[in-house]
Structure 1
Amino acid sequence: MAGNSNSGRPGTPAALQLIHGNAGKKSLGELMDEIKNPPVPVAAPPMPDWLSDGAVAEWERIISILLTLGLVSKLDMMALATYCEAVADWQRFRRKIAEHNIKADESGDVQTFATGAKQISVWRQLANDAEKRANTAGAQFGFSPMARRNLKTVAAPQGELFPNEPREAASQYFT
């Protein structure tokens, strides 16, 4: 069997391939075309009108960062909305736990019933679920060190790539 998308080493972005000396021996034209015309254009997806206020705040906080890094396209609306809603839910549930801790002067993590039985509170369970959803959706955008390690990025606009004397040597590749 030929394997799946997890088989082998992930591909190297064209810009990095050029910087490292083009060990794969791809043609310069092919690499430059990949840099200038990424397979999926970097663009902000439309923000859904059904997002909660907290999710809208997270969307506005993160979208410019994702655009700068070249990690988002118009196709990513659902994944980004899922992440933003999960973050908003997590924040809301954490506030509820903090309120409960202040009112009850006890841990908001444990719920005690009239029978004396104890269990993890509903707010803690909901917060844990929202945290898992945010981490899962956020991993698609590289929001953790391990997720960033495995990302295949689109060549993002960069600042000064060669700020000193190697600039002349590199200019032959980036004309």
Structure 2
Amino acid sequence: MAGNANSGRPAKPAALHLLQGNRSKKNIDQLMAEVKDPGFPVEAPDMPDGLSADAAAEWQRVVPDLLALGLVSKLDMMALASYCEAVADWRRFRRLIAEKNAEAEGAGDIQTFATGAKQISVWRQLANDAEKRANAAGAQFGFSPMARRNLKAAPPPQGELFPNEQRDAASRFFT
């Protein structure tokens, strides 16, 4: 089967095209029109009450930039909260890994058993999982610029394919 909506590389958002110098030579007027009217309300969502301190700090860090680029909407509260909590977890686990490595070289990255077998430590596994969650939450529901570009608003109603002018004229006078 030929290509479908999921084929190929995801399209870049207009703001990113302009920031990178428009190497693809897309129409500047169309890109500027898309930047001015992104098709969704650009507004910061309310920060949830239950965020950890690190997650709240991440929220405060990213929301102004997302607003400036026009890439966040009130609808993105949950995706943004998930992203911020995942980043907070990642930072916490990275601190724990650094502490364990300071105690004994590599103890935060590698776990050694009594038998001498080694495996990746639970802290490293948790940090890797938090990183994956942060990346997934960043793309979920159009949070990432690439995913935002692929969200399409519902098209306007098409109207009649074959208008009947005589019927319309008659309905104005005889109804």
1:71/1:153 contact within 8 Å kept: no
Using the size of structure 1 for normalisation, the TM-score is 0.64
Q: Which residue of 2 aligns with 1:76?
A: 76
Q: CA deviation at 1:6?
A: 2.4
Task: Name structure 2 gaps, 5 residues minimum.
Answer: 19-25, 152-175
Partner of 2:149: 152
Greater C-alpha Rg: 2
Sort the Cα spacing of 1:72 and 1:153 in 2 relative to 1 into closer, same or farther, 3 A.
farther
Q: Conserved in 2, the CA contact under 8 Å of 1:109 and 1:123?
A: yes
Which one scores higher on RCO, CA 8 angstroms, separation ≥ 6?
1
Q: Go from structure 1 to structure 2 and tell me whether the alpha carbon gap of 1:85 and 1:105 turns closer, same or farther (over 3 Å shift).
A: same
Q: C-alpha separation between the residues in 2 aligned to 1:90 and 1:12?
A: 28
Identity of aligned residues (%): 65
Superposition pairs of residues 22-171 of structure 1, within 5 angstroms: 38-139=38-139, 140-142=142-144, 148=145, 151-152=148-149
RMSD between superposed Cα atoms in Å: 3.5
Letter in 1 for 2:109: D
User: Which whole-Å CA distance do the structure 2 matches of 1:93 and 1:75 have between them?
Assistant: 29
Q: 1:19 aligns with which of 3, 24, 28?
A: 28
Structure 1 segments unaligned to the other structure (5+ residues): 23-30, 143-147, 155-175
Tell me how far apart the structure 2 counterparts of residues 36 and 101 of structure 1 sit (CA, whole Å).
49
TM-score by length of 2: 0.64
Change (3 A) 1:37 1:108: closer
